[in-house]
Amino acid sequence: MVLLDAGHGGHDKEKYHCIANGKKFRHGKDGYHYDSGIFYEGVWNRYQVELIKNHLFLLNIPYVEISDSLLDLSLSSRVTKVNYYHRLFPKSFLISVHANASPSHNARGYEVYTSPGVTKSDQLATIHYNMTKEILGDKIRYRSDTWSDGDVDKEARFTMLTRTTCPAILIEHLFFDNKDDVELLMNEDINQKFAQATAYTCKRFKEFFT
């Protein structure tokens, strides 16, 4: 069972209110962005999860969506849901979908995170990193670890990685506060390729532990 998590909140267009309001960046009125130049990370995360679900369906891989379609559910409630499904489906694993930002707004690239230490999460992250490079090639930049621990994923004590009981990765799909990266994030072909990379990662990881 693939457990899908879209980071942060969505955008309630009827009330013109962005849940998790801090996860946005104004790029100006021109360009390919949401709402007159504002990019909302939570909106993009949810769109990417929808694309991933479509690809998983085509591959006949079951999934459960942990996050809400709009609300920014608390980390503790999402952790509880993940661990509940992991008890029901012992071979389940978590994919947490995000886009990145930096203080300088100059950083670019894709990266994937796991919790500190060596676990099955590292194998899942390596599969995803390699699959993303295979499918997207030189269309994006890649940000890997220094290989100090022998793998490409970066390590962090994010709640969704350290308090969940199943293998888990957190994907940062480029930097939404960078002009060049955000144009890629608003490109439908790139979006589909990101989703395809994640779906085929799930297929390969599932086969590896079957």
Residue 38: the pLDDT is 82
Q: Residues 121-144: what's their mean pLDDT?
A: 95
Residue 18: the pLDDT is 52
Q: Residue 17 pLDDT > 80, yes or no?
A: no
Does the domain at 2-208 match CATH 3.40.50.12280? Answer given as: no
β-pair partners for 157: none
Q: Residues 14-39: what's their mean pLDDT?
A: 65
Q: pLDDT tens digits for 61-104?
A: 999 999 988 787 889 999 999 999 999 999 999 999 999 999 99
Q: Residues 134-147: what's their mean pLDDT?
A: 87
Average pLDDT, the chain: 88
Q: Residues 106-118: what's their mean pLDDT?
A: 95
Asked whether 110 and 170 are in contact (CB, 8 A), the reply is no
| Cα–Cα dist 208/72, whole Å | 33
Residue 16: the pLDDT is 46
Q: Residues 190-204: what's their mean pLDDT?
A: 97
Q: Residue 29 pLDDT > 70, yes or no?
A: no
Q: pLDDT tens digits for 179-193?
A: 999 999 999 999 999
Taking the alpha carbons at both ends of the chain, their separation in whole angstroms is 12
Residue 186 has which token pair?
């608003």
What is Dmax (Cα atoms) for the chain? 49
Confidence of residue 151 (pLDDT cuts 50, 70, 90): confident
